[in-house]
Amino acid sequence: MDSDQQQQQQQQQRDSQEALRAWRWGLEMGIWMFLGYAFQAVGLVFTTAQRAGFLLYLNVKFVPFFARILLGRKISIPTWASAFTALMGTALLSFDGTTVGFNVGDAWSVAAAAASAMFILRLETATAKVSDSSALNAACLWTVAGATLVWSLVDGLVTKLSTPSIASSLLEYTAANIIQVGMSHPVAIVYLGGVTTALANYIQTRAQKNVTAERASLIYAMDPVYGAVFARFFLGETLGPLGIGGAGLITVAAATNAFLDLGKKAEVEEEKDDKETKGTDEEVSSSIEMPN
């Protein structure tokens, strides 16, 4: 009986520690996710969805540089070349002749890409520290919800201070705005909250436990292409000739770098397997040798 109680207490302690880890990492991941969403939302007020889609994909290019700065990882020559190609693509995209050039919305989109890069980088550690993907995802989403509520309250406070004629309280005014947005765009709210945020983050959290970052980058390389197609289909947005060329450079840079990383990783794993096989063969040979 004492042994069963002790095991139960140990299990409860492990569960408690796992929950704390989930909240600790969920809080951090939620902050990075919120910043990415917030910067993206502000950027889309001033720039087109197509431009934002390609600029946001710079997050994959930021990851190795952040890893270098924060973790001391080396940056390979292909990564430098890929980053330069992406930079040229961004320049062409920004000055494609169909807009006034690089604007404040583009800057916010680049900031969103940087926040997203930090999310990708830190998710690598978070998924290794927290075994329960569902708990990590839930803690992350609760953090995003809380931060969004704070943002709404701050926005309401600024509006009330600048508009003295508003008679309702801050909470009433904020709640009314949230309800109004929800009633005006119910499908968009459900899709953005349920599909692109909750479901997408859950899938990404689970998948990154079993899929390498290099292979994931190959899949993510199609993100801006999807964005451009949807922006064309739903919003009627178009890119100029230079913009199309720049968008192509960004996509090629991302995909090429991912292919090179995959090839390099495969070579390293093959060399490791060869060494292990050779070592095993030597052990077997030495074990069957008979003494003279």
Average pLDDT of the residues in 134-163? 85
pLDDT digits (tens, 9 = 90+) for 253-285: 766 765 665 555 555 455 555 555 555 555 545
**Tokens, residue 271:** 């060399």
Quick one: pLDDT at residue 284? 47
Report pTM: 0.69
Instruction: Report percent pLDDT > 70 for the chain.
Output: 74
Question: Model confidence over 70-110: pLDDT tens digits?
Answer: 877 777 777 777 777 877 877 776 666 665 567 788 889 98
For the cut 80, the answer to whether the pLDDT of residue 217 exceeds it is no
pLDDT of residue 179: 85
Instruction: Round the average pLDDT of the chain to a whole number and report it.
Output: 76
pLDDT (tens digit per residue) in 191-208: 888 888 888 878 877 776
Kindly list the distances between the CA atom of residue 90 and the CA atoms of 114, 118, 169, in Å, as whole numbers in the listed order.
Answer: 14, 20, 45
Residue 221, pLDDT above cutoff 70:
no
What pLDDT does 204 receive? 76
For residues 122 and 26, the answer to whether their CB atoms sit within 8 Å is no
Task: Give the model's pLDDT for residue 147.
Answer: 92
Coil, strand or helix: which one is 90?
helix
Judged against a pLDDT cut of 80, whether residue 128 lies above it is answered with: yes
Q: Which of 131, 125, 150, 133 is nearest to 34 (CA)?
A: 150
Long-range Cβ contacts of 170-177 (<8 Å, 24+ apart): 177/152
